[in-house]
Copies of this chain bind each other. A is one copy, B any other.
C-alpha cells in the first residue's frame, strides 16, 4: 500500500499542470461551460482519463451552492411499503443525476438536528408524519425545497405533496363489501392517529357506511396500529370477548395479516366465518392463504413523482399542483368472493 490515505488524490491543479493549462480551463472542459478550443479539450480530456481524475464533491458543492443530493426523511425503515418507496426514490434520483440520503427520524438522538437537512441537501422528501410541524415550518421559513409524500400539507404552509386517494379507496372497498358481498357487521382495525392515512381511510369508510344506512360508530372498532402484533392482540381480544362480525376491515395490510393469524390461531375460518380485507397491497398479500383482498396504492410511483416534483422545485423554484394518485380495489379470496 502507498503511504497515507488521501493525500495523493489527484486534484484539478494536477490536471492543469499536466495539461499545461490553467485550472479555469480544466473546469471549463469538465463542465462544458464557456468556450474552449477543440485542441485544448482533447489534451485536457486525455489527462483527465490518464490520471483518473474525479472532481472533489465538497469543493464543487461549496463553489456552486448545489449539493445535487436530496434528503429522504422517514419515520422508520420497516414495513413492506418501505421497499417500493426506496426503489422509486433511488430510480428517479439516479435518472436525474442526483443522489439521495435517507434518515429515519424515529429513534434519532434527542437534542441533535436531523442528520439530513438543509446543510447537506438541496431539498428533502418528508414521508408521512415523520417530521413534526415546527420543523416543516422552519424549513418553509428558509424557503427550503420540501415535498411531502403520503400526506397533505399543513394548511398554512402549503407545501407541495404527493399522496394517494385514501378516502375514495376506502369508500370503494366498503361499498363493494356492502353492495356485492352484503356484509352488515364490520370490525375495523384503525391505524395510528398521527398517521394521516388513518383519518382519510376512516372518513371513506364512514361515508360509505352512512350511504347504506349503517353507522361506523355502531361497528366494532379497535387498534390495528399499522402493525401485525398489535392487530393480532386486538383481534384475539375481540374473539375472547365474543364479539361478532362478518368482516374485519384493516386499515393496512400488516394489520390484516395480524388479524388473519389471530383467526387462524383461534380456529376461525377465513373467509367462511369471518372475512378480512386490508389496504396497501404489499407483496405478501397475494401469497397469503387465503389471498388478501385489499386496496392497492402506487407507492413506488408516488415516490418517483415526489422526487420529480422536488427536483423541479429545486431547479426552477416553482412547483405545480400537488398530486393525488388513484388507488385500485384488488379482489381476492379473503373477502369471501370466490
Task: Please list the residues of chain A having a beta carbon within 8 angstroms of any beta carbon in chain B.
Answer: 1-2, 5-6, 9, 52, 54-59, 61-62, 65, 67, 69, 77-78, 80, 82-83, 86-87, 90, 94, 97, 99-104, 107-108, 113, 115-120, 138, 142-144, 257, 283-284, 287-289, 317
Contact = CB atoms under 8 A, between A and B. Distances in A.
Contacts of A69: 101
B83 A119 contact: no
A94 B118 CA distance: 18
Given A1-B143, A82-B83, A90 B77 contact: yes
A182 to B, nearest CB: 27
A30 to B, nearest CB: 12
B54 A58 contact: no
Contact of A99 (B103, B113, B144, B283): B103
A143 B61 contact: no
A65 B77 CA distance: 30
Contacts of A116: 99
B77 A83 contact: yes
Please indicate which of the listed interface residues A103, A257, A287 has the most CB atoms of chain B within 10 Å of its own CB. Answer: A287
Given A87-B78, A284-B287, A287-B288, A57 B119 contact: yes
B58 A138 contact: no
Q: How many copies does the complex hold?
A: 2
A78 B84 CA distance: 8
A314 to B, nearest CB: 9
Nearest to A291: B289
B104 A90 contact: yes
Given A58-B67, A83-B83, A97-B115, 10 more contacts: A2-B143, A5-B317, A6-B144, A9-B142, A78-B87, A82-B83, A82-B86, A90-B104, A94-B115, A287-B287
A100 B77 CA distance: 14
A143 B2 CA distance: 7
Contacts of A117: 54
A115 to B, nearest CB: 5
Given A5-B317, A94-B108, A287-B288, A99 B120 contact: yes
Contact of A86 (B1, B2, B86, B97): B86
A328 B107 CA distance: 29
6 contacts: A52-B138, A54-B119, A86-B86, A94-B108, A100-B102, A284-B287
